[in-house]
Structure 1
Amino acid sequence: MNIFKISPIIRITLLCLYIALTVPLPFLAEFTNAPIPSSVLWLGIVLGAIAVYAALSERVILDDDKIQVTYPNWVPKFFRKGWSLSWQEIDQLKMRTTGQGGLVYYFTSPTEEKAYLLPMRVAGFNKMVNLVAKKTGIDTADVRPLAQPWMYLILFACTMVLWLVDGWTIWTATHLAS
């Protein structure tokens, strides 16, 4: 059995970006005397952080019988369901372009009318794709991840700059308010 989790660089970057985009809001609400209390904003930020963390807790499990996308038990099924396909059900890996011009791949099955997205943000993506090729016999030589690690490193660097701006904003809001 092989388990692939979302890449740490992706998980850390997206969690840091979420924090950078939301944490200044309660301070700004206090500073501007907004009609929404900062405590409500803090509650929303915490609930949102849990939702983001849940979405980033996806796991891809490959075993002798199937490929399966799952989430931990604490993630409600209505939030993120996951899916499972036996290797015998998979007949193709179809490529599709995204609205931004990237390429994604879907597993198709003659027995099901749905297509299942190949998880592309996992650590060990090449190993996972090689195992899929071995189990299905599908040629995966041209399958590449949607985003390269350097893209997330750039986003992480931009997020750190945003954190600096957030720090200045929070410092300004708290010192001008007093």
Structure 2
Amino acid sequence: MSLYINIKNIQILAAVIITAAFSSCSNGNQVKKDPSSPEKYFDIPAFFQKEIDSLASINPEINKTVKKDDQEETKILKIKDWQIELSSFQAIDLNKPAYAGFVKVDSTDSLIQYSFTNPELDLSCVRIKLNKEGNAEMISIEKEVRNTLYKTSEFLVYEKDKFYLVEKNQHVKVMGENYYKVQGEF
């Protein structure tokens, strides 16, 4: 498996810090909803399908970094299948029935934050930064899955026309700790 070395971590780190600085996710009060008319939240799968279609048509060259534990490598390349490349993002659907009744929404003119009030759910926080026109320009997602065998924490960030990041920490009881990172810069 080939790995890549990254040379632009400062931009990624700054974007992540800015996203986190907007506010922290917390388990606030549960939002009560009328089950006969469920609230519709931002459609993340549709947003990423548009991004996938756009990226497939323009076929940009990206600086891609892959890291596993302490091994890291970077290459400049063109992505063959954006559907696969962004699948972790597109799989996040705020409108899944499992989340109904457990979503707390906080928003300003430039940020929508979704917090999940049930700690057994895989999502803990989704933040969507909006541009001046009210369109999504950055999405960050915090996920955690736990069971008796393993614990996985994921942090995903996508900034339109700039970069994407998928960072995963995994602890498997018998196998120990694993760290993975995939990062692409446009």
**TM > 0.5:** no
Larger radius of gyration: 1
Pick the TM interval, shorter chain. Answer: under 0.3
- Write 1 or 2 for the structure with the bigger share of strand: 2
- Write 1 or 2 for the structure with the bigger share of helix: 1
User: Normalized against structure 1, the TM-score is what?
Assistant: 0.28
Higher RCO (Cα < 8 Å, 6 or more apart) = 1
